């Protein structure tokens, strides 16, 4: 049986020096280099499959120091500290440059932990929105190859109908907000790498706020995982509701906060990212 394209992109080969060799996958190509979500997902996959991994992911932060070029890359990964119930990881990705030198293109940290039976409360309930069944799928632009890996159904906050540079005059709380149902295409059961990738599913918020397609790219992405492995298993390959909005645009950067809920309403993950945009 052939691998799902998502799992193909996650494949890494252990090297004798303890590093891992990976390759960008053409099915996940973005405007420049690979879709950032698939790179972040590969980091989570590497950690969870590491023989020293303790528990399951709690948080991940990746900083895109430079554009990752198509081709081979080296992942360096180590457990910086292991406590009784938590574990802290540091990682980086390097690539060979045209002059033969090696340069760092990504840095990151992560935390895993053993589950503990404690008091719990979800203070971010899933919004009341129409279900995915009655919403038409979003057409996939040919230039954004990675979008074909997902089935997207917009609830609110689609891309502008006219790219006229007009600043949205709606309520500032929702002018940059999007809500959409998403699942892998073809369908694939949810796991921590899949949730990581979906946390980066959104178009740049500056496009919605200004109706101007300026170059933009994530420079730092943090994902907090709230779902247990059991909750992910229960969600299976069903739709996920994804919501994102920006909070401020200044000096060529904007931030974005996002939430992911299972179709049944379980909060799977929240994320924050800083995005660069060019005038």
Q: For the segment 168-199, what is each residue's pLDDT rounded down to a tens digit?
A: 766 555 688 999 999 999 999 999 999 999 99
Cα 40 to Cα 110: distance, rounded to the nearest angstrom: 11
Residue 234 token pair: 């229960």
Q: Report which DSSP code applies to 196.
A: H
Whether 1 has a pLDDT exceeding 80, the answer reads no
CB 249 within 8 A of CB 242: no
Mean pLDDT along residues 209-216: 89
Whether 43 has a pLDDT exceeding 70, the answer reads yes
Cα 214 to Cα 194: distance, rounded to the nearest angstrom: 28
Mean pLDDT along residues 68-91: 97
Instruction: Please write the tens of the pLDDT for every residue from 94-115.
Output: 999 999 999 999 999 999 999 9
DSSP E strands, the chain: 12-14, 20-23, 56-64, 72-82, 86-96, 102-113, 150-156, 178-184, 216-225, 240-250, 253-262, 267-277
Mean pLDDT along residues 135-161: 89
From the list 146, 53, 33, 43, the residue with the least C-alpha distance to 93 is: 43
Residue 82 token pair: 């292991």
Q: What pLDDT sits at residue 174? A: 67
Cα 42 to Cα 270: distance, rounded to the nearest angstrom: 18
End-to-end Cα separation, the chain, in angstroms:
47
Residue 114 token pair: 């053993």
Let me know if 27 is exposed, middle or buried by CB neighbors in 10 A (0-12, 13-18, 19+): middle
CB 122 within 8 A of CB 101: no
Whether 116 has a pLDDT exceeding 80, the answer reads yes
Q: What pLDDT sits at residue 189? A: 97
Percentages (nearest 5) of helix, strand, coil residues in the chain = 20, 40, 45
Q: Which pTM does this prediction carry?
A: 0.95
Local confidence band at 126 (pLDDT 50, 70, 90 cut-offs): very high
Q: What is the mean pLDDT of the chain?
A: 94
Q: What pLDDT sits at residue 155? A: 96
CB 208 within 8 A of CB 160: yes
């Amino acid at each position: 049986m052939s691998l799902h394209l998502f799992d193909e992109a996650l494949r890494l080969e252990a090297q004798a020096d303890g590093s891992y060799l990976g390759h960008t996958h053409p099915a996940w190509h973005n405007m420049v280099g690979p879709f950032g979500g698939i790179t972040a997902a590969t980091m989570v996959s590497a950690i969870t499959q590491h023989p020293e991994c303790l528990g399951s992911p709690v948080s991940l932060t990746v900083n895109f120091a430079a554009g990752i070029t198509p081709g081979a890359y080296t992942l360096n990964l180590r457990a910086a500290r292991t406590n009784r119930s938590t574990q802290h990881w540091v990682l980086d990705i390097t690539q060979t440059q045209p002059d033969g030198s090696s340069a760092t293109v990504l840095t990151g940290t992560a935390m895993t932990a053993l589950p503990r039976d404690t008091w719990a409360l979800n203070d971010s309930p899933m919004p009341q929105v129409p279900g995915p069944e009655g919403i038409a799928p979003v057409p996939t632009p040919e230039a954004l190859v990675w979008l074909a890996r997902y089935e997207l159904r917009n609830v609110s906050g689609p891309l502008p109908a006219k790219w006229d540079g007009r600043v949205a005059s709606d309520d500032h709380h929702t002018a940059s907000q999007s809500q959409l149902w998403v699942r892998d295409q073809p369908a694939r059961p949810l796991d921590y790498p899949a949730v990581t990738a979906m946390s980066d599913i959104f178009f740049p918020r500056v496009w919605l706020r200004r109706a101007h397609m300026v170059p933009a790219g994530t420079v730092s992405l943090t994902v907090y995982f709230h779902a247990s492995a059991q909750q992910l298993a229960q969600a299976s390959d069903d739709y996920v509701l994804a919501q994102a909005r920006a909070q401020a645009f200044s000096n060529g950067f904007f931030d974005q906060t996002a939430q992911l809920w299972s179709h049944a309403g379980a909060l799977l993950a929240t994320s924050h990212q800083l995005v660069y945009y060019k005038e």
